[in-house]
Amino acid sequence: MDLRDTSPERASSTGLENHTRPQPGRGPLGEPRPSVQGLLEDLNPPQREAVEHRGGPLLVLAGAGSGKTRVVTYRMAHLLATGEVRPWNILAVTFTNKAAREMRERVWGLLGRKEPDLWVSTFHATCARILRGHAHLVGYPREFSILDQADQLALAKDCCKELNLDPERFPAGMLLQHVSDAKQAFVSCPQYRARWNGDYLREKVGRLYELYQERLRRAGAMDFDDLLFWVLTLFLEHPQVLEFYRRRWTHVLVDEFQDTNQIQYRIVKALAQEHRQICVVGDDDQSIYSWRGADPTNILEFDRDFPDVRVVRLEQNYRSTSHIIQAASSLIRQNRMRRGKDLWTANEPGDRVAVYVARDEREEAGFVAREIRHLVAREGSRPADFAVFYRTHAQSRALEEELLDCGVPFAIYGAVGFYERKEVKDVLAYLRALVYPSDDLSWKRILNVPRRGIGPKTLRAAETLAAGEGVPLSQALELAAGAAPKAGCARLREFLQLMDRLKNRLQEEGVASALKGILQETGYLSELRRSPDPLAGQREENLEELLNIAVEYEAEQGANPLGFLERVALFTDLDLSSHREDRVSLMTLHSAKGLEFPVAFLVGMEEGLLPHRSSLEDPAALEEERRLCYVGMTRARKRLYLCLAATRRVWGTPKSLPASRFLWELPADHLESLSLELGVSPGWQEHSGDRPNAVVGRWVRHSAFGVGTLLRVEAGGERLVVHFPGIGERRFITREAPLEWL
């Protein structure tokens, strides 16, 4: 059933309410069902309990590597295999298109058949689909466009310029983030301006919010936050629409529930409030996205809204070795704001978690690069088996240089995304302009790309005309074609005629053919081939890949330009294939969630980096930093390295940073200390009986040398090696060392 062709008034004519109960042993359409018992045999007792639960809300607290996805997919398959639920009565939402696709395909595999009416999707795609049928009720056309993040920022910059806001004092990105925060909290523009009247900064945010929304509505466009905002508005102001979807989706499942924000939770709560058949799956210990609106209280206080909830804990980890799990579990138990679970594994103990203390970030990166090269050469590992996680992007530079020096291939995960590349955005802007005549941003982008002699003066004249006449830029360009100087008039006419030809091609032959026309008829491809840009070849390959994507889309979904552009707009880098080239993966800890590697390195384990300095005075933020470290640790399957530097350059100046408190929270019997000179020794908190405070990485003060960091304990505890900024390493006899422990 296509929601775009469905309204609440037509619900009774869809036939969904009139199906008879399926026959025993048969599905809702009479097809044979898979063995229900066979589905359950693959599950451990808590997983089976979650899959079989019926009769009310269910909260599954799924620890890292505990089979969360298996529970979600088996639960859907079980509901369908028993004949209790029809495919179109299940809504499953998650956070990436990749996860949704994999989940859907797993359910189909378990059932032994495809179920196209089973709706498994992201929050944003689900809301977009709802709005395609009902956008007119909130003042939008059905064919609204969706702005990606780059276009949102471009529009915000235009608005700030129109409002004469100083870009140095009020960066558009910062103001736009405030607007996004307001929408995610379901605060409308009038409410925001009333609430913050008199606040200097937020008055500027309110002005941007108002103009930004006005420009969006004028263009018939929504941003990502609007998709959620307008669906909740629709549910609250048009109860018949909410009732229709409640009847359709009688079972609601939410994956990665710890990552939901306020508005997402309100949407699923509204859908499930009456039938109460809601299953949410998540891990409060992996809630690491508060900076983009995720609200951990949704999972911590779920029983506030559903007091009859059944809670099932998945605590057996199938991914990592015992040493890794014991160390990570000890760390996360330090948090207070958690529901509590004790992760365990039946896997072998494996290697202890290795801790390496370097003199500086260069030595730290060199150790990582050489260790990877050693394991590849001596143990037959592949570069793709390794990942290096860091807290901030700036930490990658030293790693990149050392890996290059060691000849180790690597890729930076989360670099410029495919759809953010200039050539891809240029060509997609043509397609958007053809589909959405009111999309002023796309028309502005393509007007003189490739160069065709239409300059900024002509564009400004057209924009002035558009504002004066109250029409879109595309219409103003047509008017300007008759009023521009003779040469400019001819060029504008040629451009508009080109767009007419491309529009006809799109309507008659589809997206892939239109993209070919854009590349050829505009001269874009020929200009690229003439370019001296050394990356021109890569850019052409990217355009070839874009064409391949369009061909694949049309093979699956048919010639639907709206659907293609919607898929592109809702795509994120998290949707990239899990298949990796044979390269070491470098990424931030926030990017690591959901991934796993045989070997992982966490670098920068220092106070001020992990935990980040912005969290040190905020208990809630500090707990999120601990969760971030926990997520990084539990990505490793067989080996885990925790690395830190005694000094690190901060704004060009070497600074001593104490070892991260998170290292002190790890049990010594699951750790080993690595040293280039000494090799391996048990534990990392090495000390002698005379110096119980001699913890590697700890700060010390010397009367002459100042503050330094303990690098190593040598000779069975008889000698201490301390690094002092600007001085270097100094050795002390443990019993006589004139050191004050800080």
Do 214 and 247 sit in the same domain of this protein? no
pLDDT category at 525 given cuts 50, 70, 90 is very high
Same domain, 544 and 589: no
My answer on whether 494 and 607 are in the same domain is no
Q: Are residues 213 and 236 in the same domain?
A: no
**How confident is residue 694, by pLDDT bands cut at 50, 70 and 90?**
low
Question: Would you state the structure tokens that stand for residue 547, as one six-digit string?
Answer: 């064409």
> Is position 493 within any domain?
yes
**CATH code where residue 293 lies:** 3.40.50.300
Give the chain's radius of gyration (CA, Å).
29
Residues comprising the chain, all counted: 742
pLDDT (0 to 100) of residue 537? 84
| Pair 106, 246 in one domain | yes
Does the global pTM surpass 0.85? no
pLDDT band at 742 (very low <50, low <70, confident <90, very high): low
| Catalytic residue of the set 148, 151, 223, 255 | 255
Q: What are the structure tokens assigned to 261, written together?
A: 């924000």
Whether residues 293 and 348 share a domain: the answer is no
Residue 338 domain-assigned (yes or no): no
Q: Domain count of the chain?
A: 5
Known catalytic residue: 297? no
Q: Which pLDDT score, from 0 to 100, does residue 240 have? A: 96
Active site residue 204: no
What is the rounded CA–CA span in Å between residue 481 and residue 491?
8
Asked whether residue 337 is domain-assigned, the answer is no
For residue 477, the domain's CATH number is 1.10.486.10
Whole-number average pLDDT of the chain: 86
Q: What's the confidence (pLDDT) of residue 84?
A: 85
Domain boundary among 552, 587, 602: 552
**pLDDT at residue 454, as a whole number:** 87
Residue tagged active-site, from 286, 395, 458, 709: 286
In a domain, 561, yes or no: no
Model confidence at 734: pLDDT above 80: no
Residue 216 has pLDDT above 80, yes or no: yes
Kindly state whether residues 79 and 58 are assigned to the same domain: yes
Please indicate, yes or no, whether residues 598 and 633 belong to a single structural domain of this protein: yes
User: Position 528: which residue type?
Assistant: L
- The one-character DSSP state at 56 is S
Residue 68 annotated to the active site:
yes
Are 480 and 511 in the same domain? yes
Nearest to 298 by CA among 59, 605, 472: 59
Are 90 and 63 found together in one domain? yes
Q: Residue 286 — very low, low, confident or very high, per pLDDT cuts 50/70/90?
A: very high
- The answer to whether residue 279 is domain-embedded is yes
- Quote the pLDDT of residue 405: 92
Range of the domain at 734: 698-741
Query: For the segment 89-115, what is each residue's pLDDT rounded down to a tens digit?
Result: 999 999 888 899 999 999 999 988 888
* Region at 21 (left for phi over 0; alpha for psi -120 to 50; beta for the rest): beta
Residue 26 has pLDDT above 60, yes or no: no
pLDDT at 448: 92
Identify whether 203 is part of a domain: yes
What's the confidence (pLDDT) of residue 331?
Answer: 96
Lowest mean pLDDT among 334-348, 560-574, 633-647, 670-684: 670-684
Quick check: 430 and 444 in contact, CB under 8 A? no
Q: What pLDDT, on a 0 to 100 scale, did the predictor assign at position 72? A: 94
Percentage of the chain exceeding pLDDT 90: 58
Mean pLDDT confidence for 208-234? 95
CATH number at residue 213: 1.10.10.160
Residue-wise pLDDT for 28-40, tens only, equals 444 445 566 777 8
Query: Final residue of a domain: which of 552, 586, 619?
Result: 552
User: Whole-angstrom Cα distance, residue 320 to residue 324?
Assistant: 6
Concatenated DSSP letters for 301-317?
THHHH-TT-EEEEE-B-
Question: Same domain for 384 and 493?
Answer: no
| 155-176 average pLDDT score | 93
Q: Per residue in 584-595, pLDDT tens?
A: 999 999 999 989
Q: Which of 6, 33, 48, 69 is catalytic?
A: 69
- Average pLDDT for 437-460: 90
Residue 606 has pLDDT above 60, yes or no: yes
How much of the chain exceeds pLDDT 70, in percent? 88
- Residue 69 is among the residues annotated as catalytic for this protein: yes
Where a domain ends, among 552, 568, 602? 552
> What does the alpha-carbon distance between residue 430 and residue 442 come to, in Å, rounded to a whole number?
7
Q: Is 425 a catalytic residue?
A: no
Q: What is the DSSP letter of 656?
A: E
Does a structural domain hold residue 562? no
Q: Does residue 415 carry a pLDDT above 70? A: no
Told to judge if 647 belongs to the known catalytic residues of this protein, a careful annotator would answer no
Query: Is 352 a domain residue?
Result: yes
pLDDT number for residue 646: 87
Lowest mean pLDDT among 268-272, 643-647, 687-691: 687-691
E strand map for 315-437: 353-358, 386-390, 410-412
How far is residue 56 CA from its own chain's centroid? 30
Q: Across residues 210-236, what is the average pLDDT?
A: 95
Asked if residue 71 has pLDDT above 50, the reply is yes
Token pair for 172: 């558009």
**C-alpha dihedral, 688 to 689 to 690 to 693, nearest 10°:** 70
225, 256, 607, 625: the active-site residue: 256
pLDDT digits (tens, 9 = 90+) for 663-684: 989 988 899 887 543 334 444 4
- What residue type is assigned to position 194 of the chain? A
Average pLDDT rounded to a whole number, residues 521-533: 90
Name the active-site residue from 33, 48, 68, 98. Answer: 68
Q: Give yes or no: residues 68 and 214 share one domain.
A: no
